[in-house]
Every structure is written in structure tokens, then in C-alpha cells.
Amino acid sequence: SAVISQKPSRDICQRGTSLTIQCQVDSQVTMMFWYRQQPGQSLTLIATANQGSEATYESGFVIDKFPISRPNLTFSTLTVSNMSPEDSSIYLCSVDRGRRNEQFFGPGTRLTVL
């Protein structure tokens, strides 16, 4: 398995501001993923972050709104920029580990935008 931590665990932010979410893994991984879970909804993939290259964004998500950094094999950040109430969600990072391609999820960051 993998031990994944995220900071902050939750935050309440004002409209128009930005928040950077950190994801730390206890061992080196090639790929890290960022998902969004809107209230009462399923998970939607935002982007895939590989170390040393630009993140790959899914349809409907753009780099200007969700810039991602991946400076090394154990760490990534997701920034939610120019926030609006529609950005209120849980943001989760995950990693792909093991021969079974099992994906493990961090504890999530619960974001509320006022």
C-alpha cells in the first residue's frame, strides 16, 4: 500500500483567492493523480502529474485554473486559482502502486469557497 498525506485537510476561502493543496507520498511513484469530488457526487479526474513533465489535464480542466507542480517523485501540489463557490469540493490525490495497478487515495482536502 502507500501512505499519502494531504495538506490542508480542510479550508474555507474567499471568492477570488487561490489555495495550494499539497500531496506527499511515503515512497517514490511515477504517476500521481488529482481528483475532484463535488458535494454528493462521484470522483472526477482533474489531471495526471508525472515528475519532470507538464501535467496532463482532462477535458473541462485547464492549467490556468488548476496549476499542478510535480517537483519530485514523492510530492505534488494542486492550486485552485481564482476560486468561486462552484469550486467547493473535496480534492483528492492518488497514486498508482504495485503490480496490480492498485490506486490509493489520500485523505482529501475539503474546500469551501464563500
Partner 1 sequence: ELKVEQNPLFLSMQEGKNYTIYCNYSTTSDRLYWYRQDPGKSLESLFVLLSNGAVKQEGRLMASLDTKARLSTLHITAAVHDLSATYFCAVPTNSGYALNFGKGTSLLVTP
Q: Which residues bind partner 1 (CB under 8 A)?
A: 31, 33, 41-45, 48, 56, 92, 94, 96, 100-108, 110
Burial code (b: 16+ CB inside 10 Å, e: under 16) for 11-47 equals eebeeeeebebbbebeeebebbbbbbeeeeeeeebbb
Q: Which is nearer to partner 1, 12 or 16 (CB)?
A: 12
Q: Which is nearer to partner 1, 14 or 52 (CB)?
A: 52
- Shortest distance (Å) from residue 52 CB to partner 1: 16
Beta carbons of 105 and 4 less than 8 angstroms apart: yes
For the chain, the residue count is 114
Strands 10-13 and 109-113: parallel
- Shortest distance (Å) from residue 82 CB to partner 1: 25
Q: Which is nearer to partner 1, 14 or 101 (CB)?
A: 101
- Shortest distance (Å) from residue 14 CB to partner 1: 23
